[in-house]
Structure 1
Amino acid sequence: MQDTVGEVLGSSPDEKSISTVPNIINGKEVITNGLFPVLSHENPHKKLHNFSYIECDKDTLVEITSNAEEGLEEWASKPYPERVSILRQAAAVLEQHRDSFVKSHVEIGGPSWFAQFNVQGVIEQLEEYISQISRPQGVIPQSLTADLALTYKQPIGPVLSIAPWNAPAILGGRSIIAPLAAGCSVILKSSEKSPMLAYLLVDSFLKAGLPPRALQLVHVKPEDNPDFVDKILSTGAIKKLNFTGSTIVGKKIAGTCSKYLVPYLLELGGKNYSIVEKDADLVASSKSVIWSSWSHKGQICMSTDKVFVHESIYDEYKAELLHYAQEIAKDADYAIPQRDPIYTSKIVELVEDALAKGATLLFGDFDRNEAINTNSVKPLILEGVTSEMIINKTESFGPLFTLNRYSDTSNLIRELNSQEFGLKASIWSKNVISALDIAKRIQVGGIHINSSTVHDEPTIPHGGVKSSGVGRFNSSWGIDEFSVTKTITINQ
């Protein structure tokens, strides 16, 4: 008999290895006949464990969605203090099993500091969402025809949440906490690269006392994902979908949602950039830019891909950048392989295309064969990138960025606003009033003055514009995404 997670975890989830990650349907761990291997980042042929995937047949999906509809009624009807108490207990369970989350994240290639940050981030998200649950449910607008008019916020309904592998605890956590805080039930579909983290999240909430139908977990074979999304939306039970991942997949999901008139929240890819004005602090900005690009081997949706430096300080800034790059590139975290050979091959293709078309390697060692054979790309900085190069408009998702010069800020803003993505940007300037004016003119979801593009905290709305997504996570904005406003009028 195969070990399932539930059998080996018990109350001490840090002690034993795990063979098969089950689905969790109506509070029960379900292992089907189908198993899919979860492969190591260090060795693409080494299996970490299996996950059991559901079949995308009508009977299975009707069962799961029917559970979600019943879970919605049970969860939404609980008095808010009871919901708050359960979510507080979930935070305590997460803290209790912190080591399991960290171990599972490190196992798939996350640096230990980032794994710790992920767990802490989920706990902090819970604390912020809990603080919002007791807020007023509506307002009383004026009406000429009714004796009383009021608006009333209610949960939108069962939610399908799809979270990625690169920050599996914090991104998986927010994908379920936001709708739960609004009173919705949730079906979480894991990433095939991080099913264990998804299991640990769902298991923690159920251990905290969440009704079993209010939160379910399903694993799906990668090739079955489009069919799964289409069929589960066709049941009519899912009232909103949230997805974090690539723009290519996000557009396909948006098309499927539109087919069934299901609203969606999407946080997609970014081609994030930093603007270094002529009065910037060169030391602080260079350190931040390198950290923002290379952390977690560039596998963060907010990672810096482009740096634009005013021509009057370009050479001075480049010298400072290279000085700091020499130091930080020695960090052991940068020896960790990319999560998947697919990403390594993509990065190699982008770099080779740029070099072939005239770009130069400003920093780092690039060896195509070594990168492919080790599934690892060393930190890189490219210079002289032009619009004809693929990397100029494609998210690399790797530890590299391009260094560019500019002469006129207004022209740069127009150029950046004409591009496809709009997730994050940062501006470096000692004149914060001028930087604020620039920030207002740039079309991205979040701009950080004298700070990193990698910036997401529970109290601040997070999301993109254009091809970087639609909608916002975090705090009251996150709850609003999963709520509907009902109008009620009363006459005597």
Structure 2
Amino acid sequence: MSAVVYPSIIDGKDTHHPAEKIPVSSHTNPDDILHFFSQLQVNDSNISTLANNAKEGFKEWSALSFQEKAKIFRKAMDLIKERKNEFVDSHLEIGGPGWFAGFNVDGALGQIEEYAAQLSRPSGQVVQAAHVDLAMTIKTPIGPVLSVSPWNAPVILGTRSIVAPLAAGCSVIFKTSEKSPRPSYLLVKCFLEAGVPPKALQLVHVAPQDNPKFFEGIFASGAIKKVNFTGSTFVGKIIAQQCAKYLIPYLLELGGKNVSIVLDDANLDKAAEKILFAAWAHKGQICMSTDKVFVAESIYEKFSTALKNVAAEFVKDKDHEISQRDPVGRDKVIELVKDALAKGAHLLVGDFNEAEISKTNIIPPMILENVTADMKINTVETFGPVFTLHKYKDINNVIDEVNNHDFGLKAAVWSENTMKALNVAKKMEIGGVHINASTIHDDPVVPHGGVKSSGCGRFNSQWGMDEFMIIKTITINE
């Protein structure tokens, strides 16, 4: 059976360019072509078409009533439910486990449901003013948005990239990852079939080497009023620099060197189970995955034993046992582990065989201890099934170390004294801290985002809508 070609969608129409058919390989076997995407030709004509459509689509979509938008969102939910198997299959293609594929679809539905509920909220307020008869503020959509989301959780992150700006009343140009064009195509089709105007939501596939030209062209068009990017810190910084050139605001959800802190009164068995899940779920390929664990010195040996016991059960589950990587991700993990071991770290759990990993693309789950500041893995996100274990005496030193990290997306604190844990949480420069729970936590009704090199702005619910709106002041005098 020949592989399917997934096109861009411009003004509601599938747009193919036969000369620009780019293969999408299996994550388990680079020689196995799953399907292709038809790349948008990045030229002045196509950029102009996209930009003009987005401006016209913005006028049409923002003029619809909140009842009409809510009806369309709920229809999109129905279509996604009907096609759940397709979405799950598209997620399995990237090497994700079945439970995570299902979680992504359910999470996407939760996102749409929450934003649909937010559509009826008040659009402004009357404010006190001394020198006018009446003063009010109105929240209005910012305008056309460029949304970009990554490959590792394409259904839920793609939905979030689309539905947040749409809920605010913005039009969206959605650029896919070259590693996962299929789920993005399926999502956009569902929203368009549900009734989103064709020019209000457009999908573009761009080959990696043409990304700089595409971003420069669409920014220079003047149409884009905000950028919504989820991905690596490296790429996020480049996009922020390009946005600064044109004074385009941005929402960034970037990488995270996420930490767990185990206090001396924690439930060790519960902490061990949840930390291992947070570190190894989806092979560590989640922006919220736990990378670094600090353990009070007085319980370090007991906790290490608990980790090893739980790990012995985890590796029996194929979802956690292996990590199937593309060569770039694979080689990054190899480099980090190799550097740490050469400088004196050792493996508490797992085996490291560079030749075998390079041959099979399979990285077994690992826990490293005796990691020091001169090792790359101490500060670099692994994005693989590897985390490090650190012993501490003074919790204040741990807080200082965490706050000195470049990253600040997620943290977990483990203690049976919740007020003590809360005090630790308050002191950390982190976007989200979860007490006695996994660092992997993203609820549609709770704001989500990072600080420092983990990004800026917040997704979800009213906070996600506000990211794509401006506050307009109106005063009235007789």
In the TM superposition, residue 366 of structure 1 has moved relative to its aligned partner by 1.1
- Which residue of structure 2 aligns with residue 115 of structure 1? 101
- Which residue of structure 2 aligns with residue 232 of structure 1? 218
From 306, 313, 331, give the equivalent of 1:345: 331
Cα deviation 1:139-194 (Å, max 9, x = unaligned) = 11111221111111111000000000000000011011000000100000000000
From 12, 18, 35, give the equivalent of 1:27: 12
Cα deviation 1:247-272 (Å, max 9, x = unaligned) = 01000000000000000000000000
* Letter of the structure 2 residue corresponding to residue 479 of structure 1: M
- Which residue of structure 2 aligns with residue 490 of structure 1? 476
Matches within 5 A, 1:473-484: 473-484=459-470
* Letter of the structure 2 residue corresponding to residue 44 of structure 1: P
Secondary structure at 1:312's aligned position in 2?
Answer: helix
Partners of 1:456 and 1:300 lie apart in 2 by 11
* Letter of the structure 2 residue corresponding to residue 209 of structure 1: G
Cα deviation 1:101-139 (Å, max 9, x = unaligned) = 001110121111100000000100011011110000001
Secondary structure at 1:150's aligned position in 2?
Answer: strand
- Which residue of structure 2 aligns with residue 258 of structure 1? 244
- Which residue of structure 2 aligns with residue 131 of structure 1? 117
Partners of 1:422 and 1:208 lie apart in 2 by 37
In the TM superposition, residue 55 of structure 1 has moved relative to its aligned partner by 1.7
Cα deviation 1:401-441 (Å, max 9, x = unaligned) = 10110001111111111111000000000000011011000
Q: TM-score, normalized by length of structure 1?
A: 0.96
Partners of 1:412 and 1:64 lie apart in 2 by 49
Secondary structure at 1:175's aligned position in 2?
Answer: helix
5+ residue gaps, structure 1: 1-15
1:149 aligned onto 2:135: yes
Partners of 2:261 and 2:237 lie apart in 1 by 28
In the TM superposition, residue 338 of structure 1 has moved relative to its aligned partner by 2.6
- Which residue of structure 1 aligns with residue 343 of structure 2? 357
1:403 aligned onto 2:389: yes
- Which residue of structure 2 aligns with residue 9 of structure 1? none
- 8 Å Cα contact 2:322/2:365 also seen in 1: no
1:281 aligned onto 2:267: yes
- Which residue of structure 1 aligns with residue 232 of structure 2? 246
From 423, 430, 441, give the equivalent of 1:437: 423
1:53 aligned onto 2:36: no
Matches within 5 A, 1:170-209: 170-209=156-195
- Which residue of structure 2 aligns with residue 102 of structure 1? 88
Partners of 1:472 and 1:227 lie apart in 2 by 28
Count the aligned residue pairs.
477
Partners of 1:447 and 1:106 lie apart in 2 by 30
Q: Mean Cα displacement is larger for which, 293-302 or 360-369?
A: 360-369
Partners of 1:303 and 1:455 lie apart in 2 by 10
5+ residue gaps, structure 2: none
In the TM superposition, residue 337 of structure 1 has moved relative to its aligned partner by 4.1
Identity %: 56
- 8 Å Cα contact 2:146/2:174 also seen in 1: yes
* Letter of the structure 2 residue corresponding to residue 471 of structure 1: G
Q: TM-score, normalized by length of structure 2?
A: 0.99
Partners of 1:23 and 1:215 lie apart in 2 by 11
1:329 aligned onto 2:348: no
- Which residue of structure 1 aligns with residue 293 of structure 2? 307
- 8 Å Cα contact 2:431/2:448 also seen in 1: yes
- Which residue of structure 2 aligns with residue 168 of structure 1? 154
* Letter of the structure 2 residue corresponding to residue 41 of structure 1: H
- Which residue of structure 1 aligns with residue 197 of structure 2? 211
Partners of 2:50 and 2:2 lie apart in 1 by 29
From 453, 458, 465, give the equivalent of 1:467: 453
In the TM superposition, residue 368 of structure 1 has moved relative to its aligned partner by 0.5
Cα deviation 1:216-252 (Å, max 9, x = unaligned) = 0000001111221111011000000010011010000
In the TM superposition, residue 446 of structure 1 has moved relative to its aligned partner by 0.1
Cα deviation 1:311-331 (Å, max 9, x = unaligned) = 000001100110010110111
- 8 Å Cα contact 2:323/2:384 also seen in 1: no
- 8 Å Cα contact 2:144/2:173 also seen in 1: yes
Partners of 2:401 and 2:319 lie apart in 1 by 34
Partners of 2:320 and 2:306 lie apart in 1 by 20
Partners of 2:303 and 2:16 lie apart in 1 by 56
* Letter of the structure 2 residue corresponding to residue 269 of structure 1: G
Cα deviation 1:282-313 (Å, max 9, x = unaligned) = 00000001000000000000000000000000
Partners of 2:338 and 2:316 lie apart in 1 by 24
Cα deviation 1:15-54 (Å, max 9, x = unaligned) = x975200000000000012111101111112211110111
- 8 Å Cα contact 2:291/2:387 also seen in 1: yes
In the TM superposition, residue 336 of structure 1 has moved relative to its aligned partner by 4.9
- Which residue of structure 2 aligns with residue 316 of structure 1? 302
Cα deviation 1:66-118 (Å, max 9, x = unaligned) = 11111111111011101100000000000000000001110121111100000
Partners of 2:91 and 2:434 lie apart in 1 by 28
- Which residue of structure 2 aligns with residue 7 of structure 1? none
Partners of 1:195 and 1:438 lie apart in 2 by 41
- 8 Å Cα contact 1:168/1:198 also seen in 2: yes
Partners of 1:170 and 1:65 lie apart in 2 by 26
* Letter of the structure 1 residue corresponding to residue 259 of structure 2: Y
- 8 Å Cα contact 2:323/2:385 also seen in 1: no
Q: Mean Cα displacement is larger for which, 406-415 or 307-316?
A: 406-415
- 8 Å Cα contact 1:337/1:374 also seen in 2: no
- 8 Å Cα contact 1:108/1:339 also seen in 2: no
Secondary structure at 1:385's aligned position in 2?
Answer: coil
Secondary structure at 1:313's aligned position in 2?
Answer: helix
Partners of 2:398 and 2:224 lie apart in 1 by 42
Q: Mean Cα displacement is larger for which, 472-481 or 335-344?
A: 335-344
From 442, 448, 454, give the equivalent of 1:456: 442
